[in-house]
Amino acid sequence: IRSRVAIIGAGVAGLACGRVLSDAGVDVALYDKGRGPGGRCSTRRTPFGSFDHGAQFFTVRDEGFERAVSAWRDAGHVSRWDGRFVRIKNGNESPYDGDHRFVGTPRMNAFVKAEAEALGAHFGLRIATPRGREDRWQLYSEHGQSAWEAEWLVFATPAEQTAALLAGTGRPTSLLGGARRARSSPTWTLMAAFEGEEPVPFDAASLSGHDIAFASFEPSKPGRGGAHRWVVHASTDWSRAHLEEAPEDIVPKLTDMLCDLIEARSRPVHAVAHRWRYAQVDETAPESFALDADARLATCGDWHVAPRVESAWVSGHRLGAALIDELR
């Protein structure tokens, strides 16, 4: 398969870039290692109902992103989440209003999935090595397949993975410095379902001075319902301190914390932990995207701007516009 632009990573950033290019008539192909769409806006489906185990919601300030969100809302892929949000600081609880919060419906990955389908993104393909051959790039999967070629290559992957892929091309590029400069921190996440009725002290809590950073009551998000279930994100410090532990050792620890927090009467009947090794960028790259016209390589992603869904979209969208200028 030969395309003008190949995008590695079909998360929010890669898809935003792909959408701009595709709307301008550019032949674009997207590849993602995930089994399904979402990236860090993924959803885990279980017999107890779905869990949004990455981003919990997003806010909207950028005008372009507002237009995209409005189209997703019209199509039913996104809704406002008007839950009871609280802030808990050193044990003291207060209401947490802030900007309108949005989620994918009926699952967080819904708008990402719709975009991925519209753009024909390919999943289950981990790109291991991109190789430059004269005027084009060839992509090799981890199994050594090389069915994909493109003139331009966009990396819409987390910074650490982008740096490794760029270094693997064996070609010097100015993009490597930016990718190496960005630094992300990890998050351990718990997905827990209870059988009976348990207290629901809030729909979502943002905590500081606690080993839990965020807790969400999944049925309170629009379009969900189903069993009583929670998603818990551990704090960065806790996640880092327990980074290399096995998920089955993490589950009881985070379960204890959740049960304390909501004063649960019973233990969950289902509990699974997921490690996000590169969850949130702490130190960003200097520009909102990067492009090396000589090498025909470019990068985008939240790590160029801020650890948010909106920032990932803005980065990808801006790169798309800049690439169109280059391709003209």
Q: Which residues bind ligand FAD (CB under 6 A)?
A: 8-14, 31-34, 39-41, 54-58, 126-127, 156-158, 161, 187, 189, 233, 276, 279-280, 301-302, 307-309, 312
To the nearest whole angstrom, how small is the minimum distance from the Cβ of residue 7 to ligand FAD? 9
Per-residue HEC secondary structure of the chain comes to CEEEEEEECCCHHHHHHHHHHHHCCCCEEEECCCCCCCHHHCCEEECCEEECCCCCCECCCCHHHHHHHHHHHHCCCEEECCCCEEEEECCEEEECCCCCCEEECCCCCHHHHHHHHHHCCECCCCEEEEEEECCEEEEEECCCCCCEEEEEEEECCCHHHHHHHHHHCCCCCCHHHHHHHCEEEEEEEEEEEECCCCCCCCCEEEEECCCEEEEEEHHHCCCCCCCEEEEEEECHHHHHHCCCCCHHHHHHHHHHHHHHHHCCCCCCCEEEEEEEEEEEEEECCCCCCEEECCCCEEECCHHHCCCCHHHHHHHHHHHHHHHHHHHC
Q: Check: CB of residue 221 under 8 Å from CB of residue 83.
A: yes
Which residue, chain included where needed, has tokens 């998920």? 247
- Closest CB to ligand FAD among 198 and 302? 302
To the nearest whole angstrom, how small is the minimum distance from the Cβ of residue 293 to ligand FAD? 22
- Closest CB to ligand FAD among 55 and 110? 55
To the nearest whole angstrom, how small is the minimum distance from the Cβ of residue 195 to ligand FAD? 26
- Closest CB to ligand FAD among 152 and 276? 276
- Closest CB to ligand FAD among 143 and 328? 143
- Closest CB to ligand FAD among 262 and 312? 312
To the nearest whole angstrom, how small is the minimum distance from the Cβ of residue 243 to ligand FAD? 14
To the nearest whole angstrom, how small is the minimum distance from the Cβ of residue 265 to ligand FAD? 27
CA distance 289 to 320: 10
- Closest CB to ligand FAD among 262 and 319? 319
To the nearest whole angstrom, how small is the minimum distance from the Cβ of residue 53 to ligand FAD? 7
- Closest CB to ligand FAD among 48 and 51? 51
Which of these, 49, 318, 3, 277, lies nearest to 152 by C-alpha position?
3
- Closest CB to ligand FAD among 46 and 236? 236
CA distance 244 to 251: 13
To the nearest whole angstrom, how small is the minimum distance from the Cβ of residue 165 to ligand FAD? 6
To the nearest whole angstrom, how small is the minimum distance from the Cβ of residue 208 to ligand FAD? 15
